[in-house]
A and B are shown apart, each in its own frame.
Chain A
Amino acid sequence: MSTTNNIAQARKLVEQLRIEAGIERIKVSKAAADLMSYCEQHARTDPLLVGIPTSDNPFKDKKPCIIL
């Protein structure tokens, strides 16, 4: 019966919303501060931020040396 299905679905939805409503939440300002802190801490070791010296660049095409 579609009505029984609807009720079953509605019950499931209520159960799901109860789970989601019950969690602890931290302040957005704290979340943002933590994200910023992580970025600052790891900035120096992020090759795409710091840059990669040519000699260490794994993707750079290595041209053969020509001895003149």
Chain B
Amino acid sequence: MAAEKAEMDVLKKECDGLRTQIEAARKAVNDGNMTSAAGSATEVGRVQLKLRKSLKGHLAKIYSMHWSSDSRSMISASQDGKLLVWDTHTGNKLVAVPLKSAWVMSVAFAPSGNLVASGGLDNMCTVSNIKAASPKTLRELDAHTGYLSCCRFLSDTEILTASGDTTCCLWDLETGKQKIIFTNHIGDCMSLALSMDENTFVSGACDSLAKLWDLREGTCKQTFSGHTSDINAIQFFPNGNAFVTGSDDCSCKMYDLRSDQEVITYQDGSLNAGVTSVSLSNSGRLVFAGYDDFNCHIWDSLKGEKVGVLSGHDNRVSCTGVPADGMGVCTGSWDSFLKLWN
């Protein structure tokens, strides 16, 4: 017993020492912040996007949406138990995928456009082929011991999932088995984003931390703190060196990977609603953040100022997304509508 206590004390001391070391290293490079650096950046002015389409079709709260890589199709998931694939140019519904479990929390389009994935309180990730005559279930990925909060395809053969069981997982779709389990968060994982080169990904969790992972080695490379409540949303900045998070603490933050710390916080005293979702415009200059206050607020990512708002939903904005061609932004809400703006 005494020997074990002695070892614990040594280990604890080492942990504390390493933590202090990390803080000191971060402080040493903290020679300025984004807001001061952005003093010389051009103003974006007031960003006034118009509502172009209101997509009606779901009968209950929308929890998630994802653009297809063709920037035209888009899939949405609602707790009415359906996934709907939309042609956003015409507003028409292309495919309806009925779900075994209505409690869906996340949906994703594979880059090929052939497959879609969804999951939620059933703890599973169900992958379906939507190019078949009628949507066909390909795989039911069943190993998480908590809800599925987010899923993203790497290709038609690999998918990454985030779960309320605090882990993320890389699956092989050909075998339906787990390839790598990413453990390190101490709270429910709520969101993940894949890097452009698909070698790393970032995750946000209820432990208020964001983590960078090596996709192939399965290791956590960096941990980012700063938020004071659950991180619900996470997206990479288009240059791949930074990412933006949205949290229940009512703020969004941008973290830079190479300086290993937060570089700017997007918050406003008048905004007292949690952030549910974040997406960025193609240049990275605009951050679209969906809030519990029924709005999607637009932030100047460099200057940290609110530059616009997308108002029109009658309930919480639960998801936002900008397509690859950057031609607009889609918001989805608990009011059962999806709206397209540009």
Contacts and interface: CB of A to CB of B under 8 A. Distances in A.
Q: Do A and B come from one complex?
A: yes
A32 B25 contact: no
Given A17-B19, A35-B263, A43 B29 contact: no
A26 B282 contact: no
Given A17-B19, A33-B37, A48 B89 contact: no
Q: What is the interface residue range for chain B against chain A?
A: 35 or more
Interface in A35-57: 35-36, 38-43, 45-49, 52, 57
Contacts of B258: 24-26, 30-31
Given A7-B4, A26-B29, A58-B89, A32 B38 contact: yes
Interface string B227-267: 00000000001110110000000000010101111010000
A27 to B, nearest CB: 5
Contacts, number: 183
Interface in A2-41: 3-4, 6-7, 10-11, 13-14, 16-21, 23-36, 38-41
**Pairs A-B, 4 closest by C-beta atoms:** A32-B37, A42-B283, A46-B283, A17-B18
Interface of B: 1, 4, 7-8, 11-12, 14-15, 18-19, 21-22, 25-26, 28-34, 37-38, 40-42, 44, 47, 49, 52-53, 72, 88-89, 91, 184, 219-223, 237-239, 241-242, 254, 256, 258-261, 263, 281-286, 301-302, 322, 325-329, 340, 342
6 contacts: A17-B14, A20-B22, A25-B260, A36-B40, A36-B302, A45-B282
